[in-house]
Amino acid sequence: MPLALDTSPQTEQDRFSFFSRPNCSLTRTERDRVFWGIATVTLLVASVFSWLGYWLILPFAGIEVGVLAWAFAALGSNAGDYESIRIRGDEILIERRHGGHLESRTLNGKWVKLVLVGARPGGKVKLALRSCGRETELGAYLTDEARLELAKALQTRINAG
Amino acid sequence: MAHDATHAHDDHGHAQPSGIMRWLTTTNHKDIGSLYMWFAGIMFLIAGTMALVIRAELFQPGLQVVDPEFFNQMTTLHGLIMVFGVIMPAWAGFANWQIPLMIGAPDMAFPRMNNWGFWLLPVAGFLLVLTLFMPGGGPAGGWTMYPPLFIQGGISYDLTIFAVHILGASSIMGSINIITTILNMRAPGMTMMKMPLFVWTWLITAYLLIATVPVLAGAVTMLLTDRNFDTHFFNAAGGGDPVMFQHIFWFFGHPEVYILILPAFGVVSQIIPTFARKPLFGYASMVYATASIAILSFIVWAHHMFTVGMPATAQLFFMYSTMLIAVPTGVKVFNWVATMWKGSMTFETPMLFAIAFVCLFTIGGFSGLVCAMTPVDIQIHDTYYVVAHFHYVLVSGALFAIIAGVYYWLPKWTGHMYDERLGKLHFWLSVISMNITFFPMHFLGLAGMPRRYADYALQFAEFNAIASVGAFLFGFSQLIFLYLIIKAIKGGQKATDQVWEGAEGLEWTVPSPAPYHTFETAPVVK
Ligand code: HEM
Ligand SMILES: [Cu+2]
């Protein structure tokens, strides 16, 4: 579901920082408002019919609102996702949030190797940093082109450091 | 190659199953869009054949071709399949193909649910056709499923109810997907008031579906329990109220007719500006008019029931509320005409169908207003006048807009231009035969010919014969359409990215045919 909002890496002197997140055009409050707007009307209609004695509409309305709630919650769980890379001196801090689950890794700039697979646009570019035998993939929300650009910026920064 | 688990979603397209499994398991919005379109097309041939059975029988007074019981099965299934198996799935197909392309999203919000939503449809379609082979034949109580007939029939009535449940589940999944996609996956800069009108109309349609489908599901469930579990919701013999079924059905049913037509408004609002080479006149008023129509559609349902007996105040209320809908509808028609006014118009096939839509849908709107007047409706209710009305809004309305949309986006979908000469032939045959078929029905209705009968009095013979000739012409003209679509899929002149000189919008910025994956990274809309 996530699609990328392209944020190009920022390099200023000693620091390097990069931040990107999936594109969500609905804010949290909007999401709640839309959900309750729909749920209220649906449940109200079903309640009126139930009150008249035609109660078998209510279970269907209930199931539907349940599915809707699940769907909106699923949207919400990805809304806070992001990926960030910060470099201070030799320290590289990678942070990734996915579905409410935060993952972070600190690498030493002297010991990392940049891994780039399929380095041409359209070739499904994979970008990762390898250190201590473990790879951390980067640029989840970027296009191939943007991932290549990020790779270039990172490479320059790592070589310089 | 090492894979990071959190990235699995990026890697579709690597190990894709082939053959039938590809289609069964696909979660790609374009694949699913095509599936919906093909399903609608196949069901159109089935329900269209049923219509021709009806028109063959009605070609002459007396009983010649089928027996009356089978005739009633044909009218019932024709209506159910056309509404739930053709027009709605076709719009869902357009939604799947176009909405992500038009808002700059890579896919629908819930691709897996999208797959389930589609695959429920063939199951329901199969059940509906299967009813014909059950003991006692298919359902013959009318597409509106009114009791007492619908609580008296045989096993095929249970199957029909079950099919309606499945169709409802599919609609709910589809609309939740569409609402979440439109709200949450718009590209940066694609604000609500910049969205293409087709997207707007579908957003409102999806809302109508979510609000009303549980009502339909509940209504048919109560029919089912009345039939099988000794409840008496609608069974007068047990103290139930059959008229209440009509209220509940039309509380769903009238919003439903707008579910069928709002996406048509959207498509026409895309096509006319393209071929008039002018921006749509009154974009904001189009959005507000669509929303007003949707809201009003909840308070007009009893205009289908003026003859069941209701207080005069209720008659007045439903008459005026119904007539009120003509106001936002009029705004729309005005805006389409104003868009064409002084435009640099050209008349490719999509535009021809769109213009025919504006003219002929308006005729259907006017005959709707005639039906809305209580005293008049008491005269023409359940006559061919109503049949004429709803075929003008559904055939030259919804169906023509679907056809127009297919011509409009086919080059984007297939990468090839369709055969323009054949397209024009298809247009002229369709528009002429459609009017030959349905215009005389106004006269028949006014003269008192009732609907849903296999036979009629002698004085109705001429107009019925004319209508039947028109129907066969219309039906066979659609084969041109099928041929032309297959031809464009197989090959033909290469389409450019923009396809139409005046076309604007994100879908025209991607190559033709649109690649399997588009907008994996959101474009920025200025
Ligand atoms: C200006 C707008 C409209 C008005 C005022 C209007 C009014 C009416 C009225 C009063 C009836 C009931 C006639 C009777 O049964 O005696 C009717 C029937 C019907 N209308 Fe409309 N209508 C409008 C637009 C539409 C649209 C846009 C559609 C669908 C695309 C539609 C589809 C139908 C159908 C299917 C029926 C017949 C239902 C049945 O009994 O089987 N109408 N309309
Ligand atoms: Cu209505």
B193-204 confidence digits (pLDDT tens): 999 999 999 999
Q: Supply the DSSP symbol for B520.
A: S
Pick from B302, B444, B392, B391: nearest CA to B75: B391
Catalytic positions of B: 78, 107, 143, 170-171, 254, 256, 258, 269, 303-304, 329, 332, 451
Contact B441, B451 (CB under 8 A): no
Provide mean pLDDT across the span B341-359: 97
Average pLDDT of chain B, as a whole number: 94
Tell me if A155 is assigned to some domain.
Answer: yes
Domain count, chain A: 2
From the list A64, A74, A128, which residue is nearest B172 (CB)? A64
Closest chain A residue to the Cα of B27, Cα to Cα: A1
Provide mean pLDDT across the span B425-430: 98
**Structural domain of residue B133, as residue ranges?**
22-195
Tell me if B174 is assigned to some domain.
Answer: yes
Tell me if A6 is assigned to some domain.
Answer: no
- For residue B63, the distance in angstroms to the closest alpha carbon of chain A comes to 41
Tell me if B211 is assigned to some domain.
Answer: no
- pLDDT for A121: 54
Which residues are CB-neighbours of A62 under 8 A, at least 6 positions away? A43, A46
Q: Are residues A68 and A84 in the same domain?
A: no
Tell me if B268 is assigned to some domain.
Answer: no
Q: Are residues A73 and A86 in the same domain?
A: no
Residue B525: band (very low, low, confident or very high) from pLDDT cuts 50, 70, 90: confident
CA dihedral B53, B86, B388, B370 (to 10 degrees): 160
Which residues are CB-neighbours of A137 under 8 A, at least 6 positions away? A126, A127, A128, B4, B7
Which residues are CB-neighbours of B520 under 8 A, at least 6 positions away? A3, A4, A143, B10, B106
Closest chain A residue to the Cα of B110, Cα to Cα: A1
The closest residue, in CA terms, to atom 43 on ligand 1 is: B368
Q: Residue B268 has which token pair? A: 């026409």
CA–CA dist B481, A6 (Å, integer): 43
Answer whether A46 touches B (CB < 8 Å).
yes
Which residues are CB-neighbours of A4 under 8 A, at least 6 positions away? A20, A22, A23, A140, A141, A142, A143, A146, B520, B521, B522
Q: Are residues A153 and A84 in the same domain?
A: yes
Provide mean pLDDT across the span B411-436: 97
CA–CA dist B495, B522 (Å, integer): 24
The closest residue, in CA terms, to atom 36 on ligand 1 is: B390
From the list A45, A54, A98, which residue is nearest B222 (CB)? A54
Q: Are residues A63 and A99 in the same domain?
A: no
Domain count, chain B: 1
Sign of the C-alpha dihedral computed for residues B505, B510, B512 and B517 taken in this order? negative
| Beta carbons of A54 and B110 less than 8 Å apart | no
B69-127 confidence digits (pLDDT tens): 999 999 999 999 999 999 999 999 999 999 999 999 989 999 999 999 999 999 999 99
Provide mean pLDDT across the span B446-455: 96
- pLDDT for A20: 83
Last residue of a domain, one of A39, A60, A77: A77
Closest chain B residue to the Cα of A41, Cα to Cα: B211
Tell me if B99 is assigned to some domain.
Answer: yes
Tell me if B103 is assigned to some domain.
Answer: yes
Q: Are residues A54 and A88 in the same domain?
A: no
How large a percentage of chain B has pLDDT more than 70?
97
- pLDDT for B14: 45
Residue A123: band (very low, low, confident or very high) from pLDDT cuts 50, 70, 90: low
**Bridge-based pairing state of the strands A82-88 and A126-131:** unpaired
The closest residue, in CA terms, to atom 35 on ligand 1 is: B390
Sort out which chain A residues have CB atoms less than 8 A from B174's CB and list them.
Answer: none
B119-148 confidence digits (pLDDT tens): 999 999 999 999 999 999 999 999 999 999
Tell me if A4 is assigned to some domain.
Answer: no
Residue A2: band (very low, low, confident or very high) from pLDDT cuts 50, 70, 90: very low
From the list A24, A136, A137, which residue is nearest B184 (CB)? A24
Contact B176, A66 (CB under 8 A): no
Q: Residue A34 has which token pair? A: 């839309």
- pLDDT for A131: 86
Sort out which chain B residues have CB atoms less than 8 A from A46's CB and list them.
Answer: 214-215, 218
Tell me if B83 is assigned to some domain.
Answer: yes
Residue A135: band (very low, low, confident or very high) from pLDDT cuts 50, 70, 90: confident
Provide mean pLDDT across the span A101-129: 80
Q: Are residues A108 and A156 in the same domain?
A: yes
Tell me if A124 is assigned to some domain.
Answer: yes
Q: Are residues A106 and A154 in the same domain?
A: yes
Tell me if B113 is assigned to some domain.
Answer: yes
Give the 3-state secondary structure of residue B28.
coil
Query: Of the given ranges (A50-64, A77-91, B32-46, B169-183), which has the lowest mean pLDDT?
Result: A77-91
| Beta carbons of A41 and B211 less than 8 Å apart | yes
Question: Is pLDDT at B11 greater than 50 in this prediction?
Answer: no
Tell me if B123 is assigned to some domain.
Answer: yes
Q: Are residues A96 and A151 in the same domain?
A: yes
Q: Are residues A35 and A69 in the same domain?
A: yes
Using only C-alpha atoms, what is the Rg of chain A?
23
CA–CA dist B270, B286 (Å, integer): 12
Q: Which residues pair with A85 in a beta bridge?
A: A18, A94
The closest residue, in CA terms, to atom 16 on ligand 1 is: B381
B237-295 confidence digits (pLDDT tens): 999 999 999 999 999 999 999 999 999 999 999 999 999 999 999 999 999 999 999 99
Q: Which residues pair with A97 in a beta bridge?
A: A82, A102
Q: Are residues A87 and A156 in the same domain?
A: yes
Residue A82: band (very low, low, confident or very high) from pLDDT cuts 50, 70, 90: confident
**Structural domain of residue A46, as residue ranges?**
28-77
- pLDDT for A120: 62
Q: Residue A81 has which token pair? A: 């996702």
Question: Is pLDDT at B39 greater than 70 in this prediction?
Answer: yes
Q: Which residue has the tokens 């010649």?
A: B64
Q: Three-class SS string for B366-405? A: HHHHHHHCHHHHHHHCCEHHHHHHHHHHHHHHHHHHHHHH
- For residue A34, the distance in angstroms to the closest alpha carbon of chain B comes to 9
CA of B59 to the centre of ligand 2 (A): 29
